[in-house]
Chains A and B, each alone.
Chain A
């Protein structure tokens, strides 16, 4: 419990110190609870998510970093490995391949990498996975792009 708090505090200081190090990630800690974080990540370029800003919510267990943080998308996203309704993410490093060497910042980077390289063989969003598995890349891209526009971009006045 105490060790998780100390480590999160270290990560917080690191994030503050290197705020501009990665312009694609804006990681912030809840003001009153160090076990709740959120992040805004930019959709990677040359993907249907380009130009979108996606919000992630982190719930950190008391045993962190021995256990991984729970991360989900708050912004709607059409991606084979993200549950369309709950935002749950299927990513091995957030489950059994977790290593305490990951930090919240590097987890964000892993999620950006997952956005650029979907794994259609372990889908949480079957519609999206099926499009890719059947080779309909254009169909997947246009659906993903549409939801990026609808949910992750500022509404045009």
Chain B
């Protein structure tokens, strides 16, 4: 970023501080959305106010959800802005436009039906509605987990995005995949046929520990959902369809 822009940014922040003397400590590096130090800083293109990339992305998605827009008012100064500048690397940066048909438009994962559906599942659908439809015991007894599930990565990414409300979750996804991998490896060494219920419990406990720092209260539900998805052997679309059909027939 050029130094004059940086100065402008500082000037605006000090103005904010003087006008809101008694309010929350609005230091220049605090994101107005999460009130935490700004992570992956993203700037609005006109007023150069900065926010966490994830926070401002979510806000733009909320506004776009209400009506088609091509600009947003800055949450801090109300100035109209047309794009968001982020991911600086020396002289390079990326830019997302708010206008809907712009070729470099915002990635709006949270607007898509699939994410909204999963959010609803986690928030308001009771757990375990697919338990009776899928052969969980059969899966563990016959060690079907040895077969690779090619849809797992995409499924995990969507679930974690839904639950953390963050776009960039690949680190968490690879962490979970790593935990699963090492668990399967250990199982193949041990090779005890009778302990399938124990394997299942151990698997769930491991996953639970690995996801709790990221999704907190949703961890247990997530473990159940992960098991069901694996047991189902379905792709994401088919799995969602089965889920939806089951939800419709709930009493």
Contacts and interface: CB of A to CB of B under 8 A. Distances in A.
Interface of A: 1-3, 6-7, 10-11, 14, 18, 21-22, 62-63, 65-67, 99-101, 103, 105-106
Given A1-B165, A63-B62, A101 B36 contact: no
A103 B24 contact: yes
B22 interface: yes
Contacts of B163: 1-2
Interface in B89-144: 123
A39 to B, nearest CB: 15
Interface stretch (B27-35, B145-153, B235-243): B27-35
B62 A105 contact: no
**Main secondary structure on A side of the interface with B:** loop
Most chain A C-beta atoms within 10 Å of own C-beta, residue among B20, B34, B76 = B34
A118 B164 CA distance: 41
A105 B24 contact: yes
Given A99-B75, A100-B75, A2 B23 contact: no
Contacts of A10: 34-36
B216 A100 contact: no
A72 B125 CA distance: 30
Interface in B21-58: 22-25, 32-36, 55, 58
Contacts of A66: 33, 58-59, 62
Given A2-B215, A18-B22, A66-B58, A101 B35 contact: no
B62 A103 contact: no
A104 to B, nearest CB: 10
Chain A CB within 10 Å — which of B163, B164, B165 has the most? B165
A101 B76 contact: yes
Contacts of B34: 3, 6-7, 10
Residue among A2, A7, A18, A100 with the highest chain B CB neighbour number at 10 A: A100
A6 B24 contact: no
Nearest to A13: B35
A125 B175 CA distance: 56
Given A22-B22, A105-B24, A2 B165 contact: yes
Contact of A3 (B20, B76, B78, B165): B165
Contact of B24 (A14, A63, A65, A100): A14
A71 B13 CA distance: 29
